[in-house]
Chains A and B, each alone.
Chain A
Amino acid sequence: MLEKILKIKDLRVIYKTDLETVNAVNGINLEVEKGGTLGLVGETGAGKTTTALSIMRLLPSNTGRILNGEIIFEGEDILKMEEDKVRHVRGDKIAMVFQDPMTSLNPVQTIGAQIAEAIRLHNENMDEKEVQERVEHILSLVGIIPQRKHDYPHQFSGGMKQRVVIAIALSCEPDLLIADEPTTALDVTIQAQVLAMIRDLRDRLGTSMLMITHDLGIVAQTCDNVAVMYAGEVIEFGTVEDIFKGEKHHPYTEGLFGSIPNLKSRAARLNPIQGLMPDPTKLPEGCYFAPRCKYCTELCNKTRPEVIVSGTHKIACHMYNSKYENEMKQSVAKHAKKKEE
């Protein structure tokens, strides 16, 4: 069992406005192995970004509230740290790459200055010459000509901007890199490049990574372990093999895989998962996925599912709970019959 660099225990986060309370993260447990990459998968609104921001304690101060939980990083609970200490962790030990490169950089500062700032913040004793050397080094690592450190963000394309953001994130060689949909906003061809670069840097620097994405392809290529999030919960967790090649799955995960268009099949229509994610201000009583689930039974609507563990694979669904075996078997059978019709 590998050492864990990050352990999230029962994290609950809400966004509170005077109108309503949004239950963004509802008691999740996650672990990232040291040197490994955890993929966090889910639709928009599942709570992935909120989780990431909570780790860095960067939730919007006026609305975001961490109700409960522990985030243990290298032995210490981040949520209990002093603000000063958290600032030392940010950028230096844990770094984050955000989704939209177009707005993530300060438009009136050169990219060199922005990278240098990150370095200087955590290396107070470094002299200017060394800082600049580091800036140029990291720029070449991400595939940008070092001389361009005098250029402004608007002089770069989207893909290049994202590389700059990654350069900033990796400039202090953090132990953990959180990448929140780093390639979503980019063209497909650039996506592949940037992704390859991230993987390469991770391998070289030995960085642990939390890769947030909704793209299963990226998960397959980059991750060791996978956590599937839905409505603020982790409904399935396992190694990449468990998730991609395993027999058992949470119905939601099944749906995710099923909805990927298959080049080979001659299906006339796409296969989306029917329905929408539940309203985070009014979560259902039982299983959150029940309203959309093919196998849904009375039980599912009334009782919250427990997490069923089998080896490295964890699934939060009544189907795999031996207690409810009979009921669930009936439902599965019913569904199989329907499928044949």
Chain B
Amino acid sequence: MYRYVLQRLLFLIPTILGVTLIIFLVMSLTPSTPGRMMLGPSATQADVEQLNHELGYDQPILKRYVDYVVDMVVNQDFGTSYYTKQSVFTEIWPRYIVTIKLATIGIILSTLIGVPLGILAAVKQYSALDSIPSLLAFFIAAVPSFVLGMVLMFIFCLKLKLLPTYDNGTIAALIMPAITIAIPPAAQNFRFTKSSMLEEIRQDYIRTARAKGATERMVIWKHALQNALLPVVTNIGMNLGVLIAGAVVAEKLFSIQGIGSLIVDRISYKDEPTIIAGTILIAIVFTVVMLLVDIAYAYIDPRIKAKYERLKG
């Protein structure tokens, strides 16, 4: 089991290298340079080139890439922001924490809302417990998260004046964005859990359980559920992308000082060090969460657990 975990963590390395390379390449596609972006269109070319030279931007791209990676690994230094001239790390870290808090609440909420409702909907198919959440989930899937956020903001912040519209440092400020982030993946979790349960209930071993004389309740809770949850767990991991995208939008909408809004802002300044550092940190989150998901899966499914235990040693 541990060997498997280790293998997965080691895959982080090529991931980080790959991600960094991709961002570098994408950033290099624009003709503009940070010097130009920071000094504005009216600055002279000489000034721009001077600034670029100071920033080390005039070096060939591969050299910059290698330098950057080496810096990161050896000195644990993410470099200096082209924009603010501050250490990227000190700028980014607190915002990273904020986003992680937000995303964590988002994942927990979306799972706690979506999965149990999905199970209920499958068990009481065609009843109100099924049709109402299903209808809601359907509409939510058609609403972009920022629209959702705005509507929620409209209702709870402006009309009802219950919660603040911007980040004033209180926990209350995190509630609206957390809900905005949690709702779309919750809807998806709901649909997926429901269909997974329905799929399991149709399997042959359920018929065997009934033939033994098991009650419907036992059939569902003791047999179908465990099997149905397996793909659901994986699916939760896959919703991460949606969640992070939602976080970026929510941060913008509710003016939260998170890493998402930082990256979005810095893109327009071609502040590569910050952008890359931010993306790497997010990629790390992704990989770790997917790993946790796979580990959870292995624990729920004795077949996988057996497979990885055999791999050990």
Chain A interface residues toward B at CB < 8 A: 56, 58, 87-92, 95-96, 98, 100, 103-110, 117-118, 121-122, 152, 154-155, 165, 168-169
B208 adjacent to chain A (CB < 8 Å): yes
By a CB distance below 8 angstroms, the chain B residues around A155 are 306
Q: How far is the CB of A103 from chain B (nearest CB, A)?
A: 4
Which residues of B7-55 have CB atoms within 8 Å of chain A's CB atoms?
none
- B204 and A104 contacting across the interface, CB-CB below 8 Å: yes
Q: Are A168 and B306 in contact (CB under 8 A)?
A: no
**In the complex with contacts A100-B204, A103-B203, A106-B223, A168-B212 CB distance below 8 A:** yes
List the B side residues contacting A58 at CB < 8 Å: 207, 210-211
Minimum CB–CB distance for A154 against chain B, Å: 5
Q: How far is the CB of B101 from chain A (nearest CB, A)?
A: 34
How near does chain B come to A326, taking the closest CB pair, in angstroms?
50
- In the bound complex, residues from chain A placing their C-beta under 8 Å from that of B210 are 58, 90
Q: What chain A residues lie within 8 Å of B215 (beta carbons)?
A: 87
Q: Determine whether the beta carbon of B207 is less than 8 Å from that of A121.
A: no
The residue from B203, B204, B211 contacting A56, defined by CB atoms under 8 A apart:
B211
Q: Which of the residues A89, A104, A108, A117 comes within 8 Å of B301, measured between beta carbons?
A: A108
Give the 8 A-B residue pairs with the shortest CB-CB distance, closest first: A91-B213, A103-B204, A90-B213, A91-B212, A118-B212, A106-B205, A96-B211, A104-B208
Q: Does B302 contact A (CB under 8 A)?
A: yes
Instruction: Output the residue of A100, A105, A106, A169 with the most chain B CB within 10 A.
Output: A106
A-facing mask of B189-221, CB < 8 A → 1, else 0?
Answer: 000000000000001110111111111000000
B306–A152 contact, CB under 8 A? yes
B211: contacting residue among A91, A103, A107, A110, CB under 8 A: A91
Chain B interface SS verdict (over half): helix
Minimal Cβ-Cβ distance residue in A for B225 = A108
> B46 to chain A: closest CB distance in Å?
70
Q: How many Å from the CB of A243 to the closest CB on chain B?
A: 29
Q: With the chains together, A44 CA to B300 CA distance in Å?
A: 38
Chain A CB within 8 A of B85 CB: no
B226 at the interface (CB under 8 A from A): yes
Compute how far the CA of A118 lies from the CA of B232 in the bound complex, rounded to whole angstroms: 28
A108-B302, A154-B303 as given contacts; A103 in contact with B212, CB under 8 Å: no
CB within 8 A of B212: which of A90, A152, A154? A90
A105 to B211, CA, bound (A): 12
Whether A121 touches B212, Cβ cut-off 8 Å, given contacts A104-B205, A108-B303, is yes
- Chain B residue with minimal CB distance to A103? B204
> Is A107's CB under 8 angstroms from B214's CB?
no
B214-256 interface mask toward A, CB cutoff 8 Å, 1 = contact, 0 = none?
A: 1100000011001100000000000000000000000000000
Residues of B near A88 (CB, < 8 A) are 213
Q: Contact check, A165 vs B208: say whether CB atoms are below 8 A apart.
A: yes
The complex places the Cα of A106 from the Cα of B207 at a distance, in Å, of 10
Q: Shortest beta-carbon distance, B35 to chain A, in Å?
A: 60
On whether A89 and B213 interact (CB within 8 A), knowing A98-B204, A152-B306, the answer reads yes
- Report which of B204, B208, B214, B226 forms a contact with A108, defined as CB distance below 8 A: B226
Find out whether the CB atom of A168 lies under 8 angstroms from the CB atom of B303: no
Contact B207–A98 (Cβ < 8 Å): yes
- A103 and B213: CB pair below 8 A? no
A110 to B306, CA, bound (A): 12
Report which of A107, A121, A154 forms a contact with B205, defined as CB distance below 8 A.
Answer: A107
**Residue in A87, A91, A107 whose CB lies within 8 Å of B303:** A107
Question: Per-residue CB proximity of B288-308 to A under 8 Å, as 1/0?
Answer: 000000000000111100100
Q: Are A105 and B303 in contact (CB under 8 A)?
A: no
A87 contacts across to B, CB distance below 8 A:
213-215
- 20 of the cross-chain contacts (CB-CB < 8 Å) are A58-B211, A89-B213, A95-B211, A98-B204, A103-B203, A103-B205, A104-B207, A104-B208, A106-B208, A107-B205, A107-B227, A107-B303, A108-B227, A108-B301, A110-B302, A117-B212, A121-B214, A152-B302, A165-B208, A168-B212
A92 surroundings in chain B (CB, below 8 A): 213
A173 to chain B, nearest CB (A): 14
| CB of B234 to closest CB in A, whole Å | 15
Q: For B227, what are the chain A residues with a Cβ–Cβ distance below 8 Å?
A: 106-108
A83, chain B: closest CB distance, angstroms? 9
Q: In the bound complex, how far is the Cα of B207 from the Cα of A169, in angstroms? A: 13
The winner among A87, A100, A122 for most chain B CB atoms within 10 A is: A87
The complex places the Cα of A91 from the Cα of B212 at a distance, in Å, of: 4
Pairwise interchain contact A105-B213, C-beta atoms closer than 8 A = no
The interface residues of chain B lying within 8 Å CB-to-CB of A100 are: 204
- Bound-state Cα–Cα, A100 to B223, Å: 18
Looking at B210, B212, B302, which has the most chain A CB atoms within 10 Å of its CB?
B212
Residues of B within 8 A of A121 (CB): 212-214
Residues in B with CB closer than 8 Å to A122 are 213
Judging by beta carbons under 8 Å apart, are A117 and B205 in contact? no
**B209–A106 touching, CB < 8 Å:** yes
In this complex, which of B204, B211, B215, B300 has the most chain A Cβ atoms within 10 angstroms of its Cβ?
Answer: B211
Known: A90-B213, A106-B223. 9 other contacts (CB 8 A): A90-B210, A91-B213, A95-B212, A98-B204, A103-B204, A106-B208, A107-B205, A107-B227, A110-B302
- Most B CB within 10 A of own CB, among A105, A117, A122, A155: A117
A109 vs B205: C-alpha distance when bound (angstroms): 11
CB distance from B204 to the nearest CB of A (A): 4
Residue of B nearest to A90 (CB): B213
Q: How far is the CB of A195 from chain B (nearest CB, A)?
A: 20
Task: Give the complex CA separation of A98 and B301 in angstroms.
Answer: 25
Are the CB atoms of A105 and B208 closer together than 8 Å?
yes
Residues on the B chain within 8 Å of A118, using CB: 212-213
Q: Which residues of A contact B208 (CB under 8 A)?
A: 98, 104-106, 165, 168
Residues of A within 8 A of B226 (CB): 108-109
Question: Smallest distance from the beta carbon of A59 to chain B beta carbons, Å?
Answer: 10
